[in-house]
Amino acid sequence: MLKLPEDSVALQRLHHLGVSARDCVETLAARRDPHHHPELWRQLQRCRRAHRAIHGTSGIGRFGQWCPPLRFRGAEYGLGRLAYDRGRGELPNGDTSYLLNVHVPSGDPLTTESCDSSFQQALDFFGRHFPDEPVSSFVCHSWLLDPQLAEYLPADSNIVRFQRRFELKQLAQSAVYDVCDTDVLRYVFGKAIDGPEGSDDLLDSLPLDTTMRRAFTTHLRSGRHWYRRTGWISLSRCL
Ligand SMILES: CC(C)(COP(=O)(O)OP(=O)(O)OC[C@H]1O[C@@H](n2cnc3c(N)ncnc32)[C@H](O)[C@@H]1OP(=O)(O)O)[C@@H](O)C(=O)NCCC(=O)NCCS
């Protein structure tokens, strides 16, 4: 069971961090507990378990920017199968506008129906609660959008069908920062590694029980990499 420090210990830590007396009072008053906030607690426990399984330590700090950190500060909204946060950015045509960043939490299969339903829920929800931010596009930045996946997965697989919804931003000439072999390893095998991701020892040790898992190893063995790609769904096109 996840336990937070007692109020007195939390207060000492806040003082140690130089937090003002007023902020200490507000922070302590805003503390959550498992009895009054069971759903939040379930999420925290799930994150903590996943973090320990993948990284071998407690906490949520080694997860990427999105998901746990966004969710726990109330900036990520889970709507059906997908999750969203609000953003503003540049579109492929150079215009700037409000966007919804799309995240794909681990879990149930990414069926077309579940995505259709989630996108529709997002349009309803954000239209109702943030009417001053007219959204022009959904944006996703993920290994799931790497078109190389379609070389290995069937055309009717959920991932390939999800990819087809998006218009892809071109990969930068120096795409080294978009290489995401370690992300894929984490999402597909639940493993984090410190060494070289393509080492023969590592690849030999991985289970090959799904098409995606076989694709991962075949791809790296052939000297290629996986890339994190950015894609848009423009709302002027149909979903
Ligand atoms: C997104 C996700 C739900 C897609 O799973 P899905 O709906 O089963 O996808 P597909 O139907 O396209 O799967 C095609 C094949 O790849 C396998 N596969 C897909 N994702 C897999 C994963 N994360 N791990 C292992 N195998 C996976 C499937 O089992 C299937 O293989 P099979 O036919 O041999 O059984 C899944 O990849 C997942 O949970 N990923 C973690 C979350 C994530 O990566 N989010 C994005 C973060 S940037």
The model's pLDDT over 40-67, given as tens digits with 9 standing for 90+, comes to 888 788 777 777 777 777 776 666 655 6
Within 10 A of 131 (CB to CB), how many other CB atoms are there?
8
Atom 14 of ligand 1 has which residue's CA nearest to it?
157
Walking along the chain (239 residues) 10 residues at a time, the average pLDDT comes out as 84 95 92 83 79 75 64 85 92 86 93 98 97 95 96 98 95 81 90 70 93 97 94 79
Residue 24 inside a domain? The answer is no
Residue 137 belongs to some domain of the structure: yes
Q: Kindly report each contact of residues 69-72 with a partner whose C-beta sits within 8 Å and lies 24 or more positions away, as own/partner.
A: 71/43, 72/43, 72/44
For ligand 1, say whether the CB of 153 is within 6 Å of any of its atoms: yes
Query: Parallel, antiparallel, or unpaired for β 229-234 and 82-90?
Result: unpaired
- Asked if the structure places residue 227 within a domain, the reply is yes
Q: What is the pLDDT of residues 9-43, one digit of tens each?
A: 999 999 999 999 999 999 999 888 888 888 888 87
Does 50 reside within a domain? no
142 close to ligand 1 (CB < 6 Angstrom): yes
Centre of ligand 1 to C-alpha 153, Å, is 10
Q: Would you say the CB of residue 188 lies under 6 angstroms from ligand 1?
A: yes
Q: Is 90 helix (H, G, I), strand (E, B) or coil?
A: strand
Is residue 54 domain-resident? Answer: no
Please indicate, yes or no, if residue 189 is contained in any of the structural domains.
yes
Which pLDDT score, from 0 to 100, does residue 200 have? Answer: 83
- Global pTM reads 0.82
Amino acid residing at 29: A
The pair of structure tokens assigned to 236 is 């002027």
CATH number reported for the structural domain that contains residue 193 in this entry: 3.40.630.120
Cα-flanking dihedrals φ and ψ of residue 196, to 5°? Answer: -70, 130
The pair of structure tokens assigned to 18 is 């130089």
For residues 133 and 98, the answer to whether their CB atoms sit within 8 Å is yes
Distance from residue 190's CA to the centre of ligand 1 (Å): 12
**Ligand 1 mean position to 119 CA, how many Å?**
19
* Phi, psi angle pair for 121, to nearest 5°: -60, -40
In this structure, what DSSP letter does residue 179 have? B
CB 182 within 8 A of CB 171: no
Give me ligand 1 centre to Cα 88, in Å.
29
**pLDDT at residue 89 in the model:** 87
Residue 174: its H or E element: none
pLDDT of res. 45: 82
Residue whose Cα lies nearest atom 7 of ligand 1: it is 109
DSSP state of 170: P
Range of the domain at 134: 64-234
* Structural domain total, the chain: 1
The answer to whether residue 78 is domain-embedded is yes
**For a pocket test of ligand 1, which of 118, 139, 210, 229 has the largest count of ligand atoms closer than 8 A to its C-beta?**
210
The answer, yes or no, to whether any atom of ligand 1 lies below 6 A from the CB of 104, is yes
The answer, yes or no, to whether any atom of ligand 1 lies below 6 A from the CB of 18, is no
Domain assignment present for 104: yes
Q: Whose CA is nearest to atom 36 of ligand 1?
A: 106
